[in-house]
Amino acid sequence: MTDTSNTTIYELADQFIALANQLSQQETDVGKVGTALRFAAARFNAFEAAIKSADLGAEKESALEWFSSEFKEMLSDNLDDHIANPPITQEAAAEEADNSVQMFKG
């Protein structure tokens, strides 16, 4: 089967991230959504390994090493990006937007 799609992995990832953001707003628990996303990725990656392997039992450790290494590299790159460009939370955005006179409590 040939890949006739021009969709990049980044465009696909953006679709998953958009859904995760939507679910985070509904659930109001980014940790729960992150855990569900990691579980979904692990489940799908296990499926990917199963259909690509002639003997998954024999290749399990190799698959674990490969997927773990890939995830670690991707996570490291994205952590570096967030260190250089910290995300703006809704609370921080609201504080920045508040141009009112500040009242000192004292």
Q: What is the pLDDT of residues 19-33, one digit of tens each?
A: 999 999 999 999 999
Residue 5: pLDDT band by 50, 70, 90 thresholds?
confident
**Core vs surface per residue 4-29: b (16+ CB within 10 A) or e:** eeeeeeeeeeeeeeeebeeebeeeee
Q: Which of 2-11, 36-45, 66-75, 93-102 has the lowest mean pLDDT?
A: 93-102
Q: Which of 6-10, 54-58, 82-86, 92-96 has the lowest mean pLDDT?
A: 92-96
Instruction: With a cut of 60, say whether residue 2 has pLDDT above it.
Output: no
